[in-house]
Amino acid sequence: MKKIVSSIRIALRALKVNRMRSALTMLGIIIGVAAVIAMVAVGSGATARIQDQIQSIGSNLIIVLPGSISSNGVRLGSGAVVTLSEDDAKAIATECPSVASVAPTVRGGVQVVYGNNNWATTAQGVTPDYMTIRDSTMMLGQFFTDQDVDSAAKVAVLGQTVARNLFGDSDPTSQAIIIKNVPFTVAGVLTPKGQSPSGQDQDDVILLPISTAKQKVLGANKANAKAVGSLMVQAISPQAMDSALQEIEALLRERHRILPGLDADFTIRNLTEVFAAQETSARVMSILLGAIASVSLIVGGIGIMNIMLVSVTERTREIGLRLAVGAKTRDILSQFLVEAVTLSLLGGFIGILVGLASSYLISYFAQWSTVVSPMSIALAFVFSALVGVFFGYYPARKAAYFDPIEALRYE
Amino acid sequence: MPAVISIQDLVKDYKVGEIPVHVLKGISFEIERGDFVSIMGPSGSGKSTLMNILGCLDKPTSGVYKLDDVSVGGLNRDQLAEIRNRKIGFVFQQFNLLARTSAVENVELPLMYTDVSSQDRHDRAMKALHAVGLEGREEHQPSQLSGGQQQRVAIARSMVNDPHIILADEPTGALDSRTSIEVMAIFQKLNRKDGITMIVVTHDPDVAAYANRSLHFKDGKLQLDERIEHPSDAQKDLQMLPPEEPEEVAA
């Protein structure tokens, strides 16, 4: 231990002799380490943002949409005919063991008026289960209850965007708004969720009890009063997603009397899976950025090797003298190895500081979220030490096997 | 007196391309412990090669070299380094001090490769520097010392590990005559007071005159082995010189 400390002292002194050269050599490692840390930070920032967005749409979420149906050979577009009903929702909730809860929804575009302000948005008719399925919470007021749904109460819950556009900064709760000439009371405002993974503003929405929405706002389907636009289903756990999908498929085919082999009149989508793919691509991106950055670390290492070779040649006589007075092979080897590692570790340390600073600057100026993981710092540090050992070994070995006579005579 | 160095039929060949060059052509001699031997000869006589072998920096092609009854021929690189470290001190013509390193740290260098603690190292280096008359210059760097002072630092370095032998290769080659005598005075003191075996390679008969024995080489062979009955006394010679001018300090 004492020996290592004194070796490091000797190495530092040798590096101090050629300050400029040591600094420039270190610069290679500094840039390499800083690049790795900053790039990984940008990459993990992107991954973290996508994870947040996936969280925002709700966990273990499955959406059942009305599908295309063929009528006398004419295929109609998806959703053209409403095939899902509130009864389907109830059936899924009670009969599928992998399903935690189901929220039937209807949706449509509406114009909302408050005083002199008005705003075009999407109205969704939902049940209180919607809140748990979407992992939503209330920022102000209360969500409507099952009684409100049963009694088709004229209450509305606003998304943040809608609230801001109609009410500005004032509190919208208990205020009266008008949707399609029907007065509603604002029950509360949702906690903002921001963008969905597909880029939609999830706060530009107004939630109504599904019954009220169908009867007063969006208009009920004349043929089937119980028809709904889509079903949001939450599986009991991420592992239960696949079985939930199968159970829903089987149940709905049975309920809709679709013979085996025929196309279903509904589509089931595993939303989490769709967006998890995006997360994977972001992660690949961050690995790629890190890999490119580590190339510069290797280039920095080659710089160290180059300078150590120059240094060994310059100090041939010194090496010869040390060998003559009794330095063993491993003494010279460790002297130059410690010097190379000191150089690279010092560079690595400064590089970490520069990397932290630049990831902060990136998030400040480019408004990108960056996440510096302690793991990437530790990795960069260890990697820079390894670069020192790897690229310092050859010059050190060369020095250690000098012929003392030749080395002493070297001019 | 037992022999500290014993050499028998020592041969050293170098290969220059395909042609072998015979540098040492079968040399035998012994050096007793506590002796002061000069090795003389014209350039190309093989005296430097012999010096390298005596200093365990090089190995003979054939023949036996025993140092303290240990045959050196079969030892590997690191074992030779250990012998150099423990038993041999080197003094070179060009001093070979580490630049930008203080005198005391230069002297400590051989002890860096031993188990001696850093405090001990420092104390022993200071003692060695004082023994060669460099009190007050311990923290000077080589560039701040005169040639004679630099060579004295080198001598302090050669004796700091209490060697059995000090090998000096043209130690006065880069010095004026006065500092040459000063250096020889230190050698005689080390030889007589501390009983260190001194071996000095030189082509200067005045320098060889301070030794007790002189080995003359020519064409890779030992030509003359003469014992000097009354070697010069460097200390006395110094007193006979005109008073010392202020020592010149190299820029």
Each residue's pLDDT tens digit, A240-261? 888 888 888 888 888 888 878 7
Each residue's pLDDT tens digit, B183-228? 999 999 999 999 999 999 998 898 999 999 999 999 999 999 999 9
B157 touches chain A (CB under 8 A): yes
Contact (CB<8Å) A329/B81: yes
Query: What average pLDDT does the segment A225-241 reach?
Result: 83
A121 CB-side CA count, 13 A: 28
Burial class of residue A191 (count of CB atoms within 10 Å of its CB; 0-12, 13-18, 19+): middle
When pLDDT is cut at 50, 70 and 90, the band that residue B120 belongs to is: very high
ipTM for the complex? Answer: 0.92
Task: Name the residue facing A328 among B81, B90, B157 (closest C-beta).
Answer: B81
A325 CA: distance to closest CA in chain B (Å): 5
Query: What average pLDDT does the segment A272-289 reach?
Result: 78
State the Cα–Cα distance between residues A407 and A320, nearest whole angstrom: 5
State the Cα–Cα distance between residues A329 and A404, nearest whole angstrom: 11
When pLDDT is cut at 50, 70 and 90, the band that residue B21 belongs to is: confident
Q: Is-contact A169 A117, C-beta < 8 A?
A: no
Tell me how many residue pairs between chain A and chain B have CB atoms under 8 A apart: 52
Residue with tokens 């009969």: A95
Q: Which residues of A touch B113 (CB under 8 A)?
A: 322, 325-328, 331
Contact (CB<8Å) A408/B58: no
When pLDDT is cut at 50, 70 and 90, the band that residue B247 belongs to is: low
Each residue's pLDDT tens digit, B67-87? 998 898 889 999 999 999 999
Residue B245 has pLDDT above 70, yes or no: no
Task: Name the residue facing A326 among B52, B85, B96 (closest C-beta).
Answer: B85
Greater pLDDT, B245 or A404 = A404
Scan residues 17-36 of A and list those with Cβ closer than 8 Å to B: 17
A326 touches chain B (CB under 8 A): yes
Each residue's pLDDT tens digit, A52-72? 777 777 778 888 888 765 555
Greater pLDDT, A332 or A83 = A332
Q: Is-contact A391 A340, C-beta < 8 A?
A: yes
pLDDT averaged over every residue in chain A: 85
Output the CA angle A407-A6-B161, nearest 5 degrees: 60
How high is the pLDDT of residue A70?
Answer: 55
Contact (CB<8Å) B98/A321: yes
Each residue's pLDDT tens digit, A380-408? 888 889 999 999 999 999 999 999 999 99
Residue of B nearest to A315 (CA): B98
pLDDT averaged over every residue in chain B: 90
How high is the pLDDT of residue A2?
Answer: 66
B84 touches chain A (CB under 8 A): yes
How high is the pLDDT of residue B251?
Answer: 45
How high is the pLDDT of residue A193?
Answer: 83
Contact (CB<8Å) A329/B78: yes
Query: What average pLDDT does the segment A109-121 reach?
Result: 87
Greater pLDDT, A379 or B189 = B189
Task: Name the residue facing B113 among A2, A17, A326 (closest C-beta).
Answer: A326
User: Looking at the DSSP assignment, which residues form a beta bridge with residue B28?
Assistant: none
Query: What average pLDDT does the segment A84-101 reach?
Result: 86
User: pTM score, two decimals?
Assistant: 0.72
SS (H, E, C) chain A: CHHHHHHHHHHHHHHHHCHHHHHHHHHHHHHHHHHHHHHHHHHHHHHHHHHHHHHHHCCCEEEEEECCCEECCEECCCCCCCCEEHHHHHHHHHHCCCEEEEEEEEEEEEEEEECCEEEEEEEEEECCHHHHHCCCCEEEECCCCHHHHHCCCCEEEECHHHHHHHHCCCCCCCCEEEECCEEEEEEEEECCCCECCCCCECCCEEEEEHHHHHHHHCCCCCCCCCEECEEEEEECCHHHHHHHHHHHHHHHHHHCCCCCCCCCCEEEEEHHHHHHHHHHHHHHHHHHHHHHHHHHHHHHHHHHHHHHHHHHHHCHHHHHHHHHCCCCHHHHHHHHHHHHHHHHHHHHHHHHHHHHHHHHHHHHHCCCCCCCCHHHHHHHHHHHHHHHHHHHHHHHHHHHCCCHHHHHHCC
Residue with tokens 């423990």: B86
How high is the pLDDT of residue B248?
Answer: 53
Residue type at position B129:
L
Contact (CB<8Å) B90/A2: no
B69 CA: distance to closest CA in chain A (Å): 20
Each residue's pLDDT tens digit, A152-211? 888 999 898 888 888 888 888 888 888 888 889 998 898 888 877 677 788 888 998 988
How high is the pLDDT of residue A88?
Answer: 86
Contact (CB<8Å) B81/A321: no
State the Cα–Cα distance between residues A46 and A51, nearest whole angstrom: 9
Helix (H) or strand (E) holding B65: strand B62-67
How high is the pLDDT of residue A333?
Answer: 93
Scan residues 123-152 of B and list those with Cβ closer than 8 Å to A: none
Each residue's pLDDT tens digit, A282-310? 788 888 888 888 888 888 889 999 999 99
Task: Name the residue facing B84 among A325, A329, A408 (closest C-beta).
Answer: A325
